[in-house]
Structure 1
């Protein structure tokens, strides 16, 4: 049984560096998953708290000059105004819980303050094989009181408004919609729950997100297990080489090489060779 001096060789030092990097990466990915778990638990707690609160006036939660606080997302707000049907925005590439394709129908609600509240009235199922979404159910006329879940604006290029035909986008942002329609808007939008005390007709409402912890805990453990496995594997291989010597130089390896070398060489065809 030899010593561990072989660990100072270039081969083993390179191997150790690779193992350390892999173990460090696995640890970081595990921490990342547990961070996502912590964020999700915090979001779930905010949703549970806000779900139990009564509807608040829209001006108490949303503003025209500041973003919606994360602690207020999914809080129910109430606003009264008239729908600006001419500036209806279609949010494309949506699907319901069953995976059926469709669109969301978004209509600005002009309030007494002059600012418009961007209201996602709900989901409309469409034919995936046709770009024509058909007739969009119109909102109520006259003064309407809307209660809905406050939502943070979407971000990125997906919020750009296509103005080549009917207004459309891929994600809802009141900032982008306000710029497209030329009106002051509240920062953030709402998913409608009721209009004049009744569910939104002909459109499917938006349900609250699932309040489970998701797969992050087990993903985090999985990454940490991979890191531990890499370190354990390095230790085992080092112990094995100390005990039995380098692979390729062990007695059983030499015997195998000798056996191969002793194979009889002949030019006699195989069918005529003596068995």
Structure 2
């Protein structure tokens, strides 16, 4: 075992510690990707179960007192009321295919009961951050029946509301800003009856694929194995180098004197 004594040197100990750290990081990143895959598959199962059923009254899914349960997200619902155009809120920084735009959220107020926040869709704008609610196309006038899918509220600083604009939809924040009683959660529009003069681009259902998480996870684990394999190979090469006998140097013939 004397041939492996070099592993106790400071240089090799630091080298081994670095390899182990990198391998651990690669393992954790791989695990993170596989956890994301599990979350994606769980979300797809919820969408598949809820989104394609016949629409049900929105009051049976949403409530003004309780947030929407994640298991009920993407449930297909219907609601009837009148759009409160003066309370329109724009959702900034919603770029599509490189084109700046905003999403348009308008409260739908029924004859009785709390309002429903409806994300009517996307419209292109000249810029991403300063579009006013007055600059977006109006929804249909009078009584309107909508169908769509319920969504869970966004959280965090991006959901703050100022000047009837926000970066993410949170029904509680919007209702407080508008002094409005509304259901918690919101509806992503599918259809409107009657249809508007200027329709917006609907968001629709998300893609149902699993994404690249599985292959990304395998890649991170492969990088970790490569780091360990590289350390083992360099260790073996060092041992072989110590065991290899030194080559004798060639003796140059003595120079001849010129007579």
The verdict on a shared fold, with TM-score over 0.5 as the criterion, is: yes
SS in 1 for 2:231: helix
2:99 counterpart residue number? 100
1:126 counterpart residue number? 125
Task: Name structure 1 gaps, 5 residues minimum.
Answer: 256-275
Candidates 200, 204, 208, aligned match of 1:203: 200
Q: Does residue 190 in structure 1 map to residue 166 in structure 2?
A: no
Relative distance call for 1:199 and 1:137 in structure 2 (3 A) is: closer
Relative distance call for 1:111 and 1:250 in structure 2 (3 A) is: farther
Candidates 195, 215, 218, aligned match of 1:218: 215
Deviations 1:177-214 (A, max 9, x none): 00101112111111111112658842111121111111
Q: How many Å apart are 1:103 and its aligned residue? A: 1.2
Q: How many Å apart are 1:154 and its aligned residue? A: 1.4
Q: How many Å apart are 1:48 and its aligned residue? A: 1.6
Relative distance call for 1:193 and 1:42 in structure 2 (3 A) is: same
2:256 counterpart residue number? none
Candidates 167, 170, 174, aligned match of 2:167: 170
1:23 counterpart residue number? 23
Relative distance call for 1:181 and 1:132 in structure 2 (3 A) is: closer
SS in 1 for 2:92: strand
Deviations 1:204-263 (A, max 9, x none): 1112111111111111011001100011011111111111139xx9958x98xxxxxxxx
Q: Do the aligned residues in 1 keep the contact of 2:92 with 2:128 (CA within 8 Å)?
A: no
Count of residue pairs the alignment pairs up: 248
Task: Name structure 2 gaps, 5 residues minimum.
Answer: 250-259
Distance in structure 2 (CA, Å) of the matches to 1:244 and 1:129: 63
Q: How many Å apart are 1:9 and its aligned residue? A: 2.3
Q: How many Å apart are 1:140 and its aligned residue? A: 2.0
1:14 counterpart residue number? 14
Distance in structure 2 (CA, Å) of the matches to 1:88 and 1:250: 84
Deviations 1:133-180 (A, max 9, x none): 6742212222221111111111111111112xxx11111110110010
Q: Do the aligned residues in 2 keep the contact of 1:154 with 1:172 (CA within 8 Å)?
A: yes
SS in 2 for 1:186: coil
Distance in structure 1 (CA, Å) of the matches to 2:50 and 2:23: 41
Q: For 1:1-275, what aligned pairs fall within 5 Å after superposition? A: 3-96=3-96, 98-128=97-127, 131=130, 135-163=135-163, 167-196=164-193, 198=195, 201-245=198-242, 251=246
Distance in structure 2 (CA, Å) of the matches to 1:79 and 1:143: 10
Q: Extract structure 1 runs of 4+ deviating beyond 6 A.
A: none
Q: Do the aligned residues in 1 keep the contact of 2:140 with 2:194 (CA within 8 Å)?
A: no
TM-score (norm 1): 0.82
